[in-house]
């Protein structure tokens, strides 16, 4: 159970950090970039499918640049919190107080990353036209449906 929660926490943190970094990578490339896509948020395939203008690409790049240092700091803190938590869970004898305190630190770092991702998402959203926003919502709905289908297949 703890391992599953820990793995989920790592996956969420990595996805968040990857999403934020990919936004900048896409904009910096000045084209559709890597079409593989990734987790939640804007980036890769999602932005490529929205056909951003050169001006919009520059604005997205500027958003990334404004948040570069903060993303790095929060990402570093998230990785350190995850590592400390993993060590606490594996420590023998079990130290419940240490596990709880490192869980709290990990939770706070995850929350900070989520808030930062939301701010970046919001800033990028304002760059999009209403048509691009609608298409982004449609792409998200399609991605969510595919993910749900995959989960259901794995459960069978």
- pLDDT tens by residue, 126-141: 999 999 999 999 999 9
The enclosing domain of 86 has a CATH number of 1.20.120.1490
Segments forming the whole domain that contains residue 85: 2-155
CA distance 117 to 15: 10
Structure token digits, residue 76: 């570093």
> What's residue 77's pLDDT?
98
Does position 145 have pLDDT exceeding 80, yes or no? yes
Mean pLDDT of the chain: 81
Q: What b/e string do you get for 32-58 counting C-beta neighbours within 10 Å, with b at 16 or more?
A: ebeeeebbbbbbbbbbbbbebeeebbe
- CB distance 58 to 27 below 8 Å: yes
User: How many folded domains does the chain comprise?
Assistant: 1
List alpha helices for the chain, DSSP H. Answer: 2-29, 44-48, 54-90, 96-127, 130-155
Predicted TM-score (pTM) above 0.85: no
- Which residues, in sequence order, are CB contacts of 63 under 8 Å at separation 6+? 23, 27, 120, 123, 124, 127
- pLDDT tens by residue, 110-121: 999 999 999 999
DSSP characters over 95-115:
-HHHHHHHHHHHHHHHHHHHH
């Amino acid at each position: 159970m703890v391992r599953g929660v820990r793995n989920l926490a790592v996956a969420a943190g990595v996805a968040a950090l990857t999403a934020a970094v990919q936004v900048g990578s896409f904009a910096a490339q000045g084209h559709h970039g890597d079409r593989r896509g990734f987790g939640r948020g804007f980036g890769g395939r999602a932005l490529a499918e929205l056909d951003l203008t050169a001006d919009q690409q520059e604005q997205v790049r500027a958003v990334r640049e404004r948040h570069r240092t903060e993303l790095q700091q929060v990402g570093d803190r998230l990785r350190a919190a995850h590592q400390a938590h993993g060590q606490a869970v594996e420590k023998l004898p079990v130290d419940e107080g240490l596990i709880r305190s490192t869980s709290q630190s990990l939770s706070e770092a995850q929350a900070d990353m989520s808030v930062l991702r939301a701010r970046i998402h919001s800033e990028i959203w304002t760059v999009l036209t209403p048509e691009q926003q609608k298409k982004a919502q449609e792409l998200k709905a399609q991605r969510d449906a595919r993910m749900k289908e995959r989960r259901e297949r794995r459960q069978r």
